[in-house]
Amino acid sequence: MISGGASAEEALWALWDGSERWRRRLETAALRPGTAGRNADRDLDAVCALFETAARAEERVKGPRGALNFLAELEQQDIAADTLSGRTVRPDAVRLLTAHRSKGLEWRLVVVAGVQEGLWPDLRRRGSLLEADRIGRSGIAEPLTPGALLAEERRLFYVAATRAKERLVVTAVKAPAEDGDEPSRFLRELYRERPDGSRVPDVRVEDVTHRPRRPLAVAALVAELRAVTVDPARDPALREAAARRLVRLAALTDEDGYPLVPSAHPQRWWGMADPTVNTVPVRDPAQPLRLSGSALDQVNSCGLQWFLGREVHAEQASSGAQGFGNVVHVLAEEVGSGRTPADLGVLMERLDTVWDALAFDAPWKSEQEKGEARAALERFLTWHAAARGRVPVATEHPFEVELKAGDHLIRIRGSMDRVERDTGTGAAYVVDFKTGKHVVSGPELLTHPQLGVYQLAVAEGAVDGVEAFEGGRPEPGGAELVQLRQPAGKGAGKEDSPKVQGQPSIAGDPGWVEDLLAEAADRIVNERFTPTVGPGCTHCSFRRSCSGHPEGRQVVE
């Protein structure tokens, strides 16, 4: 049929008649509710639009156009045709349309917005570059004069203004500067005096010199209504009226039954809902609670941050900062274990082999961080060579111990950057290298959770297998943070040494660490993941969604 020169419309009808099984399946699916029905409706609408396009294509030319030519024309089109499915107009909804399309229609309230000079009237010449609009039955017509254009614009404004049956609102903006926006001349004609000196009845001119008090967006309107509804200080009648408005908004749905204003329903008010309770516990209560030193610090400082970062894994560390720390820790471990000589040149050669694989925001940031890495390694070598009365006995030492804290059985696991033996007492000393920019304050250091957990783990047998302790269980001799990014101070020799922050031994008083563990375990088991505002909020990844801060409170209230 196509090769015989049949029209596109004839070819389409032949295909439609020949696809009975697909046609019946499509018609049956269109009667179903839900997504399948909507998809079938859309497919049927596309078929109807294709038939209509084929019919118009044959009408535009004389003689048969041919299906192949029609297909070629469709392939060249980039913009889809208008849909043919009827769109219902809600009687209680606001319609937004042009003045031309308002002809013949009426509403109780009509708002004509933006009646500015230059827009009403718009005296620019109409038509295209070739002025095809001037082609008429009698030949080429003369273009409209400015007077004729003004009269046409006045008639169009009259059409828009007379669509109101009860109330008409016309808005315009007047700029303070003389060369700014000015109201249209048509606006003045609405309330000018009649020849007898009287004015048009019921016309009121209102100058507004401030922002509108009422919200101009649906989201802002819902927020104001919600605030009034739950405010006990407001008048009860006003609260009831706001609640009724919210009920009406929440009940509005589209033609498919989906809510138009879902935020109006109280079920969507996160700030009003009760705290969520998970039917499946975060941690199995029958198993020992697994914790690490860093997790202990975080869960006690802010339960919400620990839950989102450690349990949900929603926190993504900066790849550049993470890579910086990993590289420096690996090189420090190799020097401490004796696999790599304590030479800055050798370490920088090793650093160069992996540095380009690290991701940074910009090349200049990579160069800057590389300089920081060199300075950190140099401080590490200075600290490593200094006499401290201790000898290294283990690097990156993994451990796992189980102990009782309060009513909870806790399994502590982790890795110690370095374990050293005191040459005088034989006690075990734990060293933790830090490559971040944050420095712990003096009072916080005495009860630093991570260092305290390391010392408690030593007391519970975490380093019993280290050969240097000869199978015995050493006492914890203390712990320290070595801040490789931070110099010890200013002055000769201090710039090349890292800042060292030591914690005294807990051998005589391990109670404060056990209390921290018991508190952390109680928070996790009872799932008390509430935000705590503190110094750590400045570099928290979840500040914008945290109810403890104004910028995050809007997400949950």
Q: Exposed, middle or buried: residue 506 (CB in 10 Å: 0-12, 13-18, 19+)?
A: buried
535 assigned to some structural domain? no
Angle, vertex CA 54, rays to CA 52 and CA 59, nearest 5: 95
247 and 377 co-located in one domain: no
The pTM of the full predicted model, rounded to 2 decimals, is 0.54
Full DSSP string of 227-274: HHHT-TTS-HHHHHHHHHHHHHHHH-B-TTS-BS-GGGSGGG-TTTSP
206 and 237 co-located in one domain: no
Full DSSP string of 482-515: EEEEEES-SSTTTTTSEEEEEE---SS--HHHHH
Judged against a pLDDT cut of 80, whether residue 532 lies above it is answered with yes
344 and 493 co-located in one domain: yes
Q: Exposed, middle or buried: residue 74 (CB in 10 Å: 0-12, 13-18, 19+)?
A: middle
111 and 24 co-located in one domain: no
* Inter-residue contact 350 to 343 (CB < 8 Å): no
* Inter-residue contact 421 to 391 (CB < 8 Å): yes
In the structure encoding, which two tokens stand for residue 327, read together? 């590289």
66 assigned to some structural domain? yes
Domains: count for the chain: 4
The pLDDT value given to residue 126: 61
Mean pLDDT value across residues 386-412? 89
Tens digit of each residue's pLDDT (9 = 90 or more) over 34-82: 667 777 878 888 888 888 887 776 665 555 556 777 777 777 776 655 5
- The whole-angstrom distance between residue 529's C-alpha and the CA centroid of its chain comes to 21
**Rounded Cα–Cα distance for residues 254 and 534 (Å):** 46
474 assigned to some structural domain? yes
The pLDDT value given to residue 246: 93
Mean pLDDT value across residues 286-309? 83
Tens digit of each residue's pLDDT (9 = 90 or more) over 541-555: 888 878 787 777 655
* Domain housing 237: 218-268
* Inter-residue contact 170 to 119 (CB < 8 Å): no
325 and 456 co-located in one domain: yes
* Inter-residue contact 104 to 172 (CB < 8 Å): no
**Rounded Cα–Cα distance for residues 28 and 231 (Å):** 51
Taking residue 93's Cβ as centre, other Cβ atoms within 10 Å add up to: 10
374 and 488 co-located in one domain: yes
Q: Which residue has the higher pLDDT, 255 or 309?
A: 309
296 assigned to some structural domain? no
Tens digit of each residue's pLDDT (9 = 90 or more) over 88-118: 566 667 888 888 888 888 999 999 988 888 8
275 assigned to some structural domain? no
183 and 153 co-located in one domain: yes
Largest Cα–Cα distance of the chain, in whole Å? 116
Tens digit of each residue's pLDDT (9 = 90 or more) over 159-176: 998 899 988 898 888 887
pLDDT band at 211 (very low <50, low <70, confident <90, very high): low
Judged against a pLDDT cut of 60, whether residue 475 lies above it is answered with yes
352 and 466 co-located in one domain: yes
Asked if the peptide bond before residue 91 counts as cis, ω within 30 degrees of 0, the response is no
343 and 429 co-located in one domain: yes
Tens digit of each residue's pLDDT (9 = 90 or more) over 235-244: 999 999 999 9
Mean pLDDT value across residues 232-251? 93
In the structure encoding, which two tokens stand for residue 323, read together? 């890579």
Judged against a pLDDT cut of 70, whether residue 372 lies above it is answered with yes
**Rounded Cα–Cα distance for residues 498 and 379 (Å):** 5
pLDDT band at 300 (very low <50, low <70, confident <90, very high): confident
Q: Which residue has the higher pLDDT, 177 or 486?
A: 486
pLDDT band at 258 (very low <50, low <70, confident <90, very high): confident
388 and 428 co-located in one domain: yes
Mean pLDDT value across residues 486-498? 83
370 and 498 co-located in one domain: yes
300 assigned to some structural domain? no
Which residues is 418 bridged to in the sheet? Answer: 395, 431
35 assigned to some structural domain? yes
533 assigned to some structural domain? no
400 and 375 co-located in one domain: yes
Contacts of 72 (CB under 8 A, 6+ apart): none
Judged against a pLDDT cut of 80, whether residue 183 lies above it is answered with yes
75-89, 121-135, 219-233: segment of lowest average pLDDT = 75-89
